[in-house]
């Protein structure tokens, strides 16, 4: 059965490993609730716990990547990118499938840091590389593949590459439906991307994106980093179009 989270790879049952898993999981809950400072504190504790764990290297790398994700949620993209580049360098060339999957996750988050710095070309390269690694790993890494494909399609939407996004997002939807289920926030996110790609008028497409973000808020919670990122991308599209009426509507509805 595919792993739903990367930390499921930590199989040790000793006390330190159990405490690390618990602390990491709590940090993830704080991250998803929009409490990045609390998540950052918990991950700093988790990092200290890795030093005496049987699976220290994997746990340490996972924690560093998690801390970079928290920095991204705080819009501290430069710090996150520096942290991710170091861990990517350490993970490069490791033949263990679990470490390859971890590398793919790090590449996905690094793509976000690059996109935040307006380097969309390099972001796309990182996401494509992440996807290729995960495809080669097969079914056990398929949930992470869906996340990477969703991020890649989100990037394509901002660039107006709708046909390319539609090709990739249908696969992500199938994976998420099978592994996580259609009621999850990740499915709502992927479905919003898919609906946006359909051949309709720009007005209908924008309305679809607006409704999709409301669904994401209900599924993820209003402070989830995925919701925040989707809103920023939506606002970027509206600003580029000069759609002042929609901008004001989004400000009223979402508080951006």
List, for residues 153-194, the tens digit of each pLDDT value.
Answer: 999 988 889 999 999 999 999 999 999 999 998 999 999 899
Q: Give dist(CA 230, CA 245) in Å, integer.
A: 19
Q: Give dist(CA 108, CA 132) in Å, integer.
A: 12
CATH classification of the domain holding 35: 1.25.40.10
Q: Give dist(CA 41, CA 48) in Å, integer.
A: 11
Q: Give dist(CA 102, CA 97) in Å, integer.
A: 9
Residues in the chain, overall count: 256
Q: Give dist(CA 82, CA 51) in Å, integer.
A: 22
91 inside domain:
yes
Instruction: Convert the pLDDT of each residue in 50-68 to its tens digit.
Output: 998 999 999 999 999 999 9
157 inside domain:
no
CB atoms within 10 A of CB 161: 15
222 inside domain:
no
With H, G, I as helix, E, B as strand and everything else as coil, classify residue 142: helix
156 inside domain:
no
Largest CA distance in the chain: 58
Give pTM, 2 decimals: 0.90
């Amino acid at each position: 059965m595919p792993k739903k989270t990367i930390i499921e790879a930590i199989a040790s049952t000793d006390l330190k490993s159990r405490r690390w898993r618990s602390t990491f999981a709590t940090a993830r809950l704080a991250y998803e609730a929009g409490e990045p400072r609390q998540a950052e504190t918990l991950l700093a504790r988790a990092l200290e716990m890795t030093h005496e764990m049987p699976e220290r290297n994997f746990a340490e790398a996972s924690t560093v990547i998690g801390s970079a994700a928290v920095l991204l949620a705080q819009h501290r993209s430069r710090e996150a990118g520096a942290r991710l580049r170091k861990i990517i360098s350490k993970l490069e060339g490791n033949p263990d499938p679990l470490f390859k999957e971890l590398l793919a996750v790090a590449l996905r988050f690094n793509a976000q840091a690059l996109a935040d710095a307006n380097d969309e070309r390099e972001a796309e390269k990182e996401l494509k590389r992440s996807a290729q690694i995960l495809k080669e790993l097969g079914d056990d890494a398929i949930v992470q593949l869906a996340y990477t494909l969703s991020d890649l399609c989100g990037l394509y939407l901002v660039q107006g590459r709708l046909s390319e996004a539609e090709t990739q997002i249908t696969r992500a939807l199938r994976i998420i439906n099978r592994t996580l289920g259609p009621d999850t926030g990740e499915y709502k996110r992927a479905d919003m991307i898919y609906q946006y790609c359909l051949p309709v008028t720009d007005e209908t497409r924008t309305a679809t994106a607006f409704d999709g973000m409301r669904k994401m808020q209900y599924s993820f919670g209003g402070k989830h980093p995925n919701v925040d990122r989707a809103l920023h991308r939506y606002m970027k599209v509206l600003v580029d179009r000069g759609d002042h009426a929609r901008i004001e509507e989004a400000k009223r509805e979402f508080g951006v």
